[in-house]
Amino acid sequence: MTRMTGAEYLSRSLDAWEVEAVFLVPTSLSATLVTMERETSIKRIVTHGEKAAAYMADGYARATGKPGVCMAQNIGAANLAAGLRDAYLGSSPVLALTGGPYEWSRGRNYYQEIEDFPLFKPVTRSSRQVLDVSRLPDQLDQALRDATTGKPGPVHLELAGHTGDTIENQSFDVELPTPGARRTPAFRIAPEPGAIQAAAAAIRAAERPVILSGGGVRMSGAGPEVVALAERLGAPLATSLNGKDTVPADHPLAIGIPGLYARASANQIILEADLVVYIGSQTGSQVTLTWQVPAPSTAVVHIDIEPKELGRHYPRTTPVVADARLGVLALLEALGDVDAARLASWRDRAAELGARWRASVAELEDSDAAPMRPERLARDLGHLLPDNALVVSDTGHAGMWTAAHLDLAKPNQGFLRAAGSLGWGLPAGIGAQIARPDLQVVVFTGDGGLFYHLSELETAARWNVPLTVVVNDNRSLNQEINPYTVAYGGSLNGRHHELWHFQDIDLARVAESLGVTGIRVTRPQDLEPALARATEIDGPVLIDVVSDIEAVAPKGSAQRAGA
C-alpha cells in the first residue's frame, strides 16, 4: 500500500492502463493533469468545447478498442454529456470524468452550479458519483469494466468538487491497478452448442441466405471469419455502415450496405432473401430501413453479444449469444462441408442486381461536371485512399455518399462513422489520428458538418495531427431540400433559401488562418493531385471540394426489383 492523493492515483492508474491521451476543456482535474506531466507521457489535449472533447475520445476509442478519456468541470458537464450521445449510439468505450457540486455548496445557488449528474444517465452504460477518495479505485475499475465488457459503451464518473478537486486533494493508502490496457472485447463469450446447432440447421435449410456483418464484427476482429463463412456457403455478404470495413468491397460475394444509407441493390437482395444472418449488428431502423428490409416475417439467425437485441424486431429469430468471432468459428465447425454450388443461381441474382445498380449510377460517378458531383467525389476518394487509410465519416449526406459510393478494397483500410451527430467527423478524426499514428486518417464531411467544430482545426494544427479533412462543400444543408419541398407544398418557393443556404466561403483559406494547410478543388481532375499533396505534408490538411448544391443523396428503398 502506498500513500497518495486522488490526483496521483487517477493519473497513475490511467498510465498503467496504457491511456495515451485525454481530451478536455479547462479547468478540470488540474492536479491530475499536472501529475500526468510530471510522471507520464499521456498527452493532454485541450479542445475548444466539451462536445469536441467527447468526440475526440470517441474517435480514439473506436480506432483502438481502448477507452477514450474526456474531462470537464461541473460547469461544462452538460456539454460533455451531449457529446456522449454518439459514443452511446455507436457502442464506443469512452470514460467521461466530470466535477460535481461541493457538499457544502449543494443547493445554495453557488455560482454556475447545477445538478448535471442526471444528464448522463441516458447516454452511458453507467454513471456514478465519487464522494470520497476511498471509493475512487473500485468505482473507476467498475466504470472501465462497464465500458469494455459485453456491448461496449460510454461511462461516467462525477468526482466531488467543481473541478473534481475534492477527490484529487484527498490522500489515502492504496495499491495501483495491475498494468495492462483495458480494451474491447474484455472477455469473449462462447456460444451454447445447442444454439449453434439450431443456427446451422436454419442456414442449411435456407435457399436464399444473406449474411450481414455489423460493427460488432469490427470490434471482435472477426472480419476474416465472417468472410470465410460467406465463402463456405457461397452466400451474398452485406455489411452495416458500422461494419463497412469488415468485408473487402471487391470481394465477389460483397453486396454493399442495405438500409437507409444504402445501395438500392443491397436492399433488393435482402428483400428476396429467405434468411438473413446478422452478425454483430443491431436490427435497428437504419440497417433495416425501419424494419422493411427484410420484411418482419423473414427468418433470421442473429449472433450478438447483447441478449436484448436477439429477436427484438424479427420474431422468427434463431438467437445465438456470443462474441462475434467465437460465434462464427463455432458456426463454421457446426456447418462442416457445404455444397456452395446449390446457391449458384442466388449468387448470380445478387451479382445481377449489383451490376444494375452500378450501371444506374455510372453517369454520376463518371461525371466531369464542375461543381463536382459528390458521387464521383466519394468514388474517386475510395480509389485514391492510401493502403493504411482510416476513413472517418460524418453523418447525413457524408454518411450516405460514403455508404454507397466509397469502396474499401485494401485489407488494412478502416472505416468509422458518426452514429447520428452531425459535426462528429472532424473531432473524432483528430482523436483517431492521435490514437493511431500508424494510419492515415481521412475525414469525410460536408461544410454543414465542418462548421459545428471548425475551431478544432486549430487543435489539429497545435498538435500537428497529420490527418486529411475532405469537405464536400455544397455551400448548404441540402439534405433538407426534400422535407422543405414537402413543407412548402410540393415545390420550393418563398424564402426557402434562408433555411438551408450558406455563403460561398473558401474553406481552404479559413483552414490556413487556423494553421492548417488548405487546398481548394473546383474540378474533378484536381482531386488526385490534392490528395497526393496532402500525403506529403507533415501536418493537418483540409481539402475543400466545391460540389453540386443540387446533388441530393437518395435514401434507401424497399421496392423490389424486377426479375
392 within a domain of the structure (yes/no): yes
Do residues 551 and 526 make contact, with C-beta atoms less than 8 angstroms apart? Answer: no
pLDDT in tens, 135-191: 999 999 999 999 999 999 999 999 999 999 999 999 999 999 999 999 999 999 999
Q: Work out the mean pLDDT of the chain and round it to a whole number.
A: 97
pLDDT tens, residue by residue, 59-114: 999 999 999 999 999 999 999 999 999 999 999 999 999 999 999 998 899 998 99
Confidence (pLDDT) at 481: 87
Same domain membership, residue 331 and residue 245: yes
Pick from 298, 325, 352: which residue ends a domain? Answer: 352
Tell me the per-residue pLDDT of 30-58, one tens digit each, with 9 for 90 and over. Answer: 999 999 999 999 999 999 999 999 999 99
Q: State yes or no: pLDDT of 365 exceeds 90.
A: yes
**196 contacts: CB under 8 Å, gap ≥ 6:** 320, 327, 330, 331, 334
Looking at 303, 321, 352, which one is the last position of a domain?
352
d(CA 195, CA 389): 38
**What pLDDT, on a 0 to 100 scale, did the predictor assign at position 218?**
97
pLDDT band at 557 (very low <50, low <70, confident <90, very high): confident
pLDDT tens by residue, 441-456: 999 999 999 999 999 9
Residue 225: CATH number of its domain: 3.40.50.1220
Report whether pLDDT(562) > 60: no
Give a yes or no: residue 556 inside a domain: no
Does residue 268 fall inside a structural domain? yes
Q: Which of 420, 446, 463, 449 is nearest to 58 (CA)?
A: 420
SS3 179: coil
**Residue 276 to residue 300: CA distance in whole angstroms:** 5
In a domain, 409, yes or no: yes
| Claim to verify: residue 437 and residue 498 sit in the same structural domain | yes
| Residues pairing with 471 in the sheet | 445, 544
| pLDDT computed for residue 556 by the predictor | 82
Where in the sequence is the domain holding 228, given as residue range(s)?
193-352
Residues 15 and 164 in one domain: yes
Assigned domain for 105 exists: yes
Q: Which 3 state secondary structure label does DSSP give 385?
A: coil
198 and 338 in a single domain? The answer is yes
- In a domain, residue 179? The reply is no
- Residues 327 and 418 grouped into a single domain: no
Q: Is residue 378 part of a domain?
A: yes
Q: What are 232-287's pLDDT values in tens digits?
A: 999 999 999 999 999 999 999 999 999 999 999 999 999 999 999 999 999 999 99
The answer to whether position 187 is within a domain reads no
**pLDDT tens readout for residues 497-525:** 999 999 999 999 999 999 999 999 999 99
pLDDT tops 90 at residue 560: no
Per-residue pLDDT, averaged over 365-376, amounts to 98
Looking at the structure of the chain, the number of domains it has is 3
The DSSP annotation for 391-456 comes to EEE-STHHHHHHHHH----STT-EEEE-SS-TT-HHHHHHHHHHH-TTSEEEEEEEHHHHHHTTTH
Are residues 347 and 370 both part of a single domain?
no
CATH number reported for the structural domain that contains residue 22 in this entry? 3.40.50.970
* pLDDT for the residue numbered 561: 56
5 has which bridge partners?
Answer: 171
Quick one: average pLDDT of 196-210? Answer: 99
Split at pLDDT 50, 70, 90, the class of 130 is very high
Residue 532 shares a structural domain with residue 410: yes
Question: Mutual orientation of helices 50-64 and 77-89 as an angle, nearest 10°?
Answer: 30
- For residues 431 and 516, state if they share a domain: yes
Q: Do 247 and 226 contact (CB within 8 A), yes or no?
A: yes
Whether residues 255 and 292 share a domain: the answer is: yes
| pLDDT tens string 323-334 | 999 999 999 999
Supply the pLDDT for residue 329: 99
Q: Are residues 292 and 433 in the same domain?
A: no
Percent of the chain with pLDDT over 90: 95
**C-alpha cell belonging to residue 190:** 462462447
pLDDT-based confidence at residue 558 (cuts at 50, 70, 90): confident
Q: Identify whether residues 415 and 320 lie together within a single domain.
A: no
> 147 with 220, same domain?
no
